[in-house]
A and B are shown apart, each in its own frame.
Chain A
């Protein structure tokens, strides 16, 4: 129990603010796992969610990587889709009209090969009716800088953030890659460059080998790992970033149940994104807001923010027994 039972009788308020953007609840669909929304028609009631973040959009359509693009790993999924998407023009013309009829906040994920490309897409989305915010994917290769990902270079990440902020009035969420030594460094830079929020984590770089064919299982050799396998890492990084920046943090990584989501909210995330779990069961996200509400009611918690744990947990002090053996290092029991 993290909260004393008290006399709150009002029903819990699940709405949250991500910068200037108000969401009816803290549960979003993660980019790359929910298509452009319409694919889920009839299988998931999008209206029940706080928001949907559609498949990453680039300036021009991208065909993606050659197959095999997927391999299942224990409790996880490795993918190298290669950011296949229809491009901004087709998105605005063919995909956006359907999304306007959904009663949830539409957030568009964008990606580019250069700072200029990010700005250009952001500009095109700025006036697009129905788009409530932009999530910037900075874990794709930066061709101009010789293949270093924007997301692994704090300075480059800050540059993208500034450029996108300059060209759009929409709230800007920067999506971070976990494939760095210290994620708080990138987070701090991005926050001071003016990001409205940070979402994390994107997939972890991994690989698998097919021992029958004696070849890497993915055509691209490496891929991004997602699913329940990465949840503890994601949770740790969210905890760190929440305590490193003052802007809202959105937690992503292996969330498939209300309990998983609650862990991220307790770590201090303002909201969560459901990713791979939607691929496994399209209706997964639908149950999460209800599960969070149930927990808050049962524990008399009024606001989502109140779920956050204090930074310094008072733990029972660890007792070190003193071993009489000389020279043996003391270990906590």
Chain B
């Protein structure tokens, strides 16, 4: 699959809520070949500064036919803070599209997407893709409403859309896994689960899926240096104890039963 390392002009940089940003850049070549679940490495430093040294991996949130790609991200440290200061018109280097995205399974008439917090980022493109072919169930959870400011992007895609927040500020009070438990009781027939969010949430989703014999794909996160399989830094232990999965190259999306979930992140 082709990858591109290209200077990209910033089209939009919007602070949606405290610490959460939507960044849109123009990178036609990357937009053209991006699949749901793939990511990009974005340069966050200015000019020739060497600190911070590394790029930051961000899931592709949205693409538009005019060559634009959007990233939904949270300011968590020095790198994302610098990125959030970049303004429309400025150039950032973007490497992508990277990794193996979500695999669509033909014989699954209903797909359940489970997103936690900004774990919703890689799920939008997937939801748009699934919407064209089958029944789409979207379950989203967060601590409070301000952690998921782009919820409207999802709510219009399906009538099977449910939100839970721990403080009850949006949707049902509780966890996204409560929504999943209810959904799994209601549905009949073949299903497929796709999930992205905090590790404990994905682990819980995986165990619930396994009890119901529903296949589950997870999108993982890891500290990365290169994003293209050069450094082997983004290792996650395999469930079969035979070495490691590499999030950037074999992932970020894995079949959940490949992952060693008891590993203490």
C-alpha gap A67/B55 in the complex (Å)? 19
Q: Is the CB of A63 within 8 A of B224?
A: no
A282 touches B224 (CB 8 A): no
Residues of B within 8 A of A34 (CB): 230
Select B228's contact among A39, A84, A228, A256, beta carbons within 8 Å. Answer: A39
Task: Tell me if B95 is interfacial: C-beta within 8 Å of chain A.
Answer: yes
Residues of the B chain whose Cβ atoms lie less than 8 Å from the Cβ of A291: none
Contact of B5 with A282 in the complex, beta carbons under 8 Å = yes
Residues of B within 8 A of A33 (CB): 226, 230-231
Contact of B51 among A61, A75, A281 (CB under 8 A): A75
* B204 at the binding interface (Cβ < 8 Å): no
A282 touches B95 (CB 8 A): yes
Which B residues are in CB contact (< 8 Å) with A70?
A: 223-225, 231, 233-234
Residues of chain A in range 271-307 having any CB-CB distance to chain B below 8 Å: 276, 278-283
Partner of B3, one of A43, A67, A280: A43
Q: B2 an interface residue at 8 Å Cβ cutoff?
A: yes
**A190 on interface, CB distance cutoff 8 Å:** no
Interface string of B218-256 (1 = CB under 8 A from A): 000011111011111111110000111000010000000
B50, A227: Cβ atoms under 8 Å? yes
| Chain A interface, number of residues (Cβ within 8 angstroms) | 36
- B235: which of A77, A84, A278 is its contact (CB, 8 Å)? A84
Bound together, the chains give a CA A66 to CA B43 distance in angstroms of 27
Q: Choose from A63, A67, A75, A282 the contact partner of B222 (Cβ within 8 Å).
A: A67
Query: Interface readout for A64-81 with B: 1 if CB under 8 Å, 0 if not?
Result: 111111111011110101
Number of chain B residues close to chain A: CB under 8 A: 32
Contacts A64-B232, A67-B236 given; indicate if A42 touches B3 (C-beta within 8 A). Answer: yes
Which B residues touch A280, using CB under 8 A? Answer: 53-55, 225-226
B225 pairs with A279, CB closer than 8 A? yes
B229 near A35: Cβ-Cβ < 8 Å: yes
Chain B neighbourhood of A72, CB < 8 A: 52-54, 223, 225
A32 on the B face (CB < 8 A): yes
> For residue B235, which residues in chain A have a CB less than 8 angstroms away from its CB?
64-67, 69, 84
Contact yes or no, A32 B53, CB < 8 A:
no
Q: In residues 27-76 of chain A, which contact B (Cβ within 8 Å)?
A: 32-35, 39-40, 42-43, 61, 63-72, 74-76
Q: Which residue of the partner chain B has the closest CB to A80?
A: B233
Query: A81 and B50 in contact (CB under 8 A), knowing A64-B243, A282-B95, A282-B228?
Result: no
Measured between beta carbons, the chain A residues less than 8 angstroms from B230 are: 33-35, 39-40, 278-279, 282
Residues of B within 8 A of A76 (CB): 53
> Is the Cβ of B229 less than 8 Å from the Cβ of A77?
no
CB distance from A217 to the nearest CB of B (A): 9
1/0 per residue B37-62: CB within 8 Å of A? 00000010000001111110000000
Q: Is the CB of A282 within 8 A of B226?
A: yes
Q: Does B93 contact A (CB under 8 A)?
A: yes
Contact check, A63 vs B2: say whether CB atoms are below 8 A apart.
no
Contact A68 B50 (CB under 8 A): no
Closest chain A CB from B243 CB (angstroms):
4
Contact present for A39 and B55 (CB under 8 Å): no
Taking the closest CB of chain A, its distance from the CB of B239, in whole angstroms, is 14
5 nearest A-B pairs in the assembled complex, by CB-CB distance: A63-B243, A70-B233, A279-B226, A279-B225, A228-B50
List 13 other contacts, CB 8 Å, given A42-B3, A63-B242, A70-B231: A33-B226, A43-B95, A43-B228, A77-B53, A77-B225, A79-B225, A79-B233, A227-B50, A227-B53, A228-B53, A279-B225, A280-B225, A282-B5
